[in-house]
Amino acid sequence: MLWFLIFNVMIEFYTLGTSSAVPTGNRSLSANFLNFQGAKMLFDCGEGCQNSLMVNNLGMMGIDKIFISHWHADHFSGLLGLVQTMGMEGRKKPLFIYGPKGTEKFTKRLLELGYYHRTYNIFAENLEPGSVVEDDDYSVKVFETDHRVPSVGYAFVEDSKVKVSRAKMEEYGLEPCEEIGELKKGNSVEIDGKKFEPEDIVERVPGRKIVYTGDTEFSEKVVQASKKADLLVHDSTFSHELREDGRHGHSSAYEAARVAKKADVDKLVLTHFSRRFTNDTSELVKEASKEFPEVVAAEDGMKFEITAHRPSSD
């Protein structure tokens, strides 16, 4: 039974801050948290992020990587308080901050503000579209977005895995055994006098994928980066009516839904709302759902769980 539980470890994704430009009474500024098998990371860190982490008991000290989409204040204004709290709590392990052109410069300036004692190292790195940050069992891929300043989006991609098909095992009447492990390694085996090839029982299964756009207008580059994502968290600052009035640098709910449809994602999460929608996002959900049905408007502290992919035969 243990092997089944391991394969079904959830990826947890929280939308911690969902307002654009300025915070409101019920929405903090842009911030998102991802937990993958204990690897904790932030995607943007707007004002209110630290409090949202505490309210949701997410363990800020476990965060090792922060990915900034761009250096407008509503996407990084929570960073200084967060790194100072980590120091006050005695953090020792390093923190890595990634972002587009200017990240090294802006991080350095931020860390020079005020008087405080930091107990750990912070490393900042400029990333270009096409860059990949790799770690055990996953990577974070950087793609270009269409905003008014240097900006990027991020695709978290779990490594593909060789997995045993439960349906195929039942079809052959097999129970878990050492020989199954050999099949996963690519070796042929014999079980109860019958020869099995790896392709009889196991399959390489694509990993889960979560895409966060940061701020962007509709972009084919975002479509390509979002292909087959389990979860697409997309800028949806206003309605398409307002977009057609000449607003730039952001997407309407309709445009976010267009990306989701063209990219064939499983679920669309609208976020980064203008103040006029802070108490009622139903208009945006209605607008998006005409183009793409699997859509939800994010709230601060909303949690999304993405289950592990299984072989196609299961």
Q: What is the DSSP string of 233-298?
A: EEE--B-HHHHHTT--SS-BHHHHHHHHHHHT-S-EEEE-B-GGGSS--HHHHHHHHTT-SSEEE-
By three-state DSSP, how is residue 145 classified? coil
Residues present in the chain in total? 314
pLDDT for the residue 4: 41
Does the annotation mark 74 as catalytic? Answer: yes
Q: How far apart are CA 108 and CA 292, in angstroms?
A: 42
Domain residue ranges of the chain, discontinuous segments joined by +: 11-160+206-305, 163-203
At 102, the amino acid letter reads G
By three-state DSSP, how is residue 60 classified? helix
pLDDT for the residue 5: 40
Residue whose C-alpha is closest to residue 122's, from 139, 104, 99, 145? 104
Q: How far apart are CA 42 and CA 85, in angstroms?
A: 16
Fold category of 11-160+206-305 in CATH: Metallo-beta-lactamase; Chain A (3.60.15)
pLDDT for the residue 275: 94
In order along the chain (314 residues), what is the average pLDDT of each group of 10 residues?
52 98 97 97 98 96 98 97 96 98 97 91 98 97 96 98 90 88 89 89 95 97 98 96 78 97 98 96 97 98 96 86
pLDDT for the residue 301: 98
Tell me the whole-structure pTM to 2 decimals.
0.93
From the list 44, 74, 235, 300, the catalytic residue is 74
Q: Give the chain's mean pLDDT.
A: 94
